């Protein structure tokens, strides 16, 4: 009943390794394509936005655009929903940052020297050396910027992760073996208290996604965080009408769960 999140340098084999771990342990495997499929339930608008902005460096305008914020909030909600279900491998999508502090989550970073990644990408994508070099720089740069823009963190800082493994110095089989062993240790930390806490965090992300995807409510600096056995919603609101809409959304998503508002009025 553990969770594995994989952050990976492009060309380091993260997706294949994650798939092998999931197959060996009968875990769910959650990657970009699965999450994009899940987005279809919210309508074609969000699938289109996802295809345009997923894991790319957002412009300043995009960071404040309600569709971009709504897309990020929905992806976070989906990732947390899978995490609450346990027994899951999550590839990218900021999972290592979203699940920081969850004791039964194994957060892993997979790396490899540029030369090894170039060789892998040239074969996989049928590219020459120059094109493969550009592609690796672009993909890694966009992923790093996405994390920085949305979580304010550097994606390559080892302290963020429980394990950092070089897939060029280890066989994929050995990497998989190491991850399976480490997940067994994490599994023992999935206490009822830890799982209940994750459930509360996930509820907060669900509420945030509900608010962020409603164009009638624009709440800059929106945050929904756990507080005791409930949640606190903070941000900036503009009109009393927005506050009433927020109250309706809280009742819809949270039911009887206590929710406190810490909202500041801006004319």
Domain CATH for 88: 3.40.50.300
Q: Which residue has the tokens 């030369």?
A: 115
Task: For residue 267, name the pLDDT band (cuts at 50, 70, 90).
Answer: low
Give ∠ CA 234-240-244 in degrees, rounded to 5.
75
The two beta strands, 88-91 and 105-111, are unpaired
Q: What is the mean pLDDT of residues 238-267?
A: 90
Average pLDDT estimate for 200-223: 92
Structure token pair of residue 14: 């993260």
- Residue 236: both structure tokens together: 């900036």
183 with 218, same domain: the answer is no
Question: Residue 225's domain spans which residues?
Answer: 214-265
What total of structural domains would you count in the chain? 2
In a domain, 122, yes or no: yes
Which of the four pLDDT bands, split at 50, 70 and 90, describes residue 67?
Answer: confident
Which residue is associated with the tokens 């990644």?
117
Rounded distance, CA 259 to CA 224, Å?
A: 9
Assess contact for 63 and 149: CB atoms under 8 A.
yes
Rounded distance between C-alpha atoms, residue 135 and residue 122, angstroms? 10
User: Do 27 and 148 lie in a common domain?
Assistant: yes
- What's the pLDDT tens digit per position in 158-184? 889 999 999 999 999 999 999 999 999
The bridge status of strand 223-227 relative to strand 230-237 is antiparallel
DSSP for residue 164: E
pLDDT at 8 over 90: yes
Where is the domain boundary, 162, 192, 222? Answer: 192
Question: Which pLDDT tens digit goes with each residue over 110-155?
Answer: 999 999 999 999 999 999 999 999 999 999 999 999 899 889 899 9
Quick one: which of 208, 21, 8 has its CA closest to 91? 8
Give me the residue label for tokens 């606190």. 232
What pTM value is reported for the model?
0.91
Give the 3-state secondary structure of residue 199. helix
Q: Same structural domain for residues 157 and 227?
A: no
Q: What is the mean pLDDT of the chain?
A: 92
Same structural domain, 124 and 17 = yes
Q: Do strands 223-227 and 88-91 pair parallel, antiparallel, or not at all (unpaired)?
A: unpaired
CATH of the domain at 234: 3.30.1340
């Amino acid at each position: 009943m553990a969770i594995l999140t994989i952050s990976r340098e492009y060309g380091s084999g993260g997706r294949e390794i994650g798939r092998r771990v999931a197959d060996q342990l009968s875990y769910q495997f959650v990657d970009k394509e699965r999450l994009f499929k899940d987005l279809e339930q919210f309508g074609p608008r969000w699938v289109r936005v996802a295809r345009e902005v997923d894991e790319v460096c957002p412009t300043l305008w995009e960071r404040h655009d309600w569709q971009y914020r709504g897309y990020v909030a929905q992806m976070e909600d989906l990732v947390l929903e899978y995490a609450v279900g346990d027994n899951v491998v999550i590839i990218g999508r900021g999972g290592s940052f979203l699940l920081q502090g969850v004791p039964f989550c194994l957060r892993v970073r997979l790396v490899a020297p540029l030369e090894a990644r170039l060789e892998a990408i040239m074969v996989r994508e049928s590219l020459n050396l120059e094109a493969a070099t550009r592609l690796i720089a672009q993909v890694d740069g966009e992923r790093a910027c996405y994390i920085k823009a949305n979580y304010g963190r550097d994606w390559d800082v080892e302290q963020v992760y429980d394990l950092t493994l070089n897939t060029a110095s280890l066989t994929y089989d050995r990497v998989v073996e190491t991850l399976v062993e480490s997940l067994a240790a994490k599994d023992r930390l999935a206490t009822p208290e830890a799982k209940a806490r994750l459930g509360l965090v996930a509820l907060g992300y669900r509420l945030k996604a509900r608010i962020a995807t409603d164009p009638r409510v624009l709440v800059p600096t929106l945050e929904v965080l756990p507080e005791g056995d409930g949640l606190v919603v903070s941000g900036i609101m503009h009109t009393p009408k927005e506050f009433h809409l927020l109250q309706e959304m809280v009742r819809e998503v949270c039911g009887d769960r206590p929710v406190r508002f810490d909202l500041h009025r801006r004319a």
